Structure 1
Amino acid sequence: MWKERLRFPFYVIVHPFKGFWDLKYDKKGNWIVAMAIVFLVSLAAMFQYQYAGFIVNYNSPYSFNSMIQLRNVILPFFLWCVANWSLTTLMDGEGKFKEIVVSSAYALLPIFLLFVPATIYSRFITLEETAFYYYLNGFAVIWFLFLIFVSTMTIHQYTAFKTIVTICLTAVCMGFIVFLGMLFFSLVQQMYSFFFTIYKELQFRG
């Protein structure tokens, strides 16, 4: 049972149309496997940030923060899922939130599969061989974007054009959610400062 669940994401990234169809209608997706993939992609991003060869790595090793690196993958992932679900409910999308989360996580798998060997490769290359490193990373991102396109189209039963429009609007919606979140926390901070000032003033007068 679990062997089949672990093998299924690899089937999806090679046969995306059939794979995402099976994920939606045959219920072959799995929450635990999906979250494991997101976590592995986070580790791959951290691995590349910290251990890529000095020829291609311009990051300071002293600025590394594992929590920030985790946030850079996990936060955008869930922002995408929430924004996509919120938007597609208004655009007659057939995908459920769980299906969006699982399919999006499965689409991330090529990033893990290619970022790790690219990082290892970068530690043994010369300046003339860096093109292949960037090719591997670029191919991983293109593969991921293609899988996101197919998953969105299949999960929500959209046409190709509507899928492209939905992906673009989802990106805009993600930015809007971030803006509202920053606005909310700024408002909370100002309210806290206001009430704390009043409290200190009353304490001083008392």
Structure 2
Amino acid sequence: MMDLTQKQWVKHSVFHPFEGFEDLRWKKGGSVLYASIVVLLWFVAEIVHDNLVGYQFAVTNPKMFSIVPYLVQTIVLFLVWVIGNWSICTLLEGEGTIKNIYIYSAYSLIPYVVGLYVRTILSHVLIQDEAIFITCITVISTVWSVTLMFNAIKAVHQYSIGKTILALILTVVAMLMILILVVLLVALFQQVYVFVSSVYTEITYRVRV
């Protein structure tokens, strides 16, 4: 089996969806740094695509920019995916570590991320009648990333096709549960903050009086 650099492993994984991640696993390749760069580029790509897309293809025209939604729908969502998959596959006797799940999942996003940048650029070049090209890039990049993600999870945990499908479904369920718990915790902390703030304000007022 080949000995590749970290950059070459990224390329090998993306362009060899069916055996790339198997090779990556057996050679213990993959880099947390490169995976993190991919996730960061995804975060930037979403911002660029939503705010700098050509006016002919713009779906919305937000008057106020907020970075929080982009953080949630990229970095936070990705971390929830990794944690959810690790927790589920630990119960299903998967062999993947949380580090490898993080790396393999990030590598799987590369076609989708590249597609976002390409679509943004083309939106300033093409006219509305040529929107089919942007649609094709969207479909190809999304299907490519989904295929990579499926094979990444299959390889990292050494699952059969059926068990991989089950793991992916349960991962989505786990993600929903985690997100619900996070929302409840945030709401709880907000209520505690409001209560403490109110008590502090009342005490301060009485002391002054």
If the length of structure 1 is used for normalisation, what is the TM-score? 0.90
Question: Which residue of 2 is the match for residue 128 of structure 1?
Answer: 129
Q: Distance in 2 between matches of 1:101 and 1:130?
A: 34
**Map of 1:1-206 to 2, 5 A cutoff?**
4-60=5-61, 62-202=63-203
Percent identity over the alignment is 31
CA root-mean-square deviation: 1.9
**Letter of the aligned partner of 2:76 in structure 1?**
L
C-alpha contact 1:114 1:136 (8 A) present in aligned 2: yes
How far 1:113 moved relative to its partner? 2.2
Secondary structure class of the residue paired with 1:63: coil
C-alpha contact 1:83 1:174 (8 A) present in aligned 2: yes
How far 1:70 moved relative to its partner? 3.6
If the length of structure 2 is used for normalisation, what is the TM-score? 0.89
Secondary structure class of the residue paired with 1:142: helix
More helix by share: 1
In structure 2, the CA distance between the partners of 1:128 and 1:70, relative to structure 1 (3 Å rule), is same
How far 1:193 moved relative to its partner? 3.0
**Letter of the aligned partner of 1:163 in structure 2?**
T
C-alpha offsets along residues 85-130 of structure 1, whole Å, 9 cap, x if unaligned?
0111111111000000000000011022222122111112222210
Secondary structure class of the residue paired with 1:16: coil
Name which of structure 1's ranges 36-45 and 170-179 shifts more when overlaid on structure 2: 36-45
Secondary structure class of the residue paired with 1:29: coil
**Size of the alignment, in residue pairs?**
204
C-alpha contact 1:9 1:109 (8 A) present in aligned 2: no
Q: Distance in 1 between matches of 2:167 and 2:196?
A: 43
Q: Unpaired runs of 5+ in structure 1?
A: none
In structure 2, the CA distance between the partners of 1:122 and 1:198, relative to structure 1 (3 Å rule), is closer
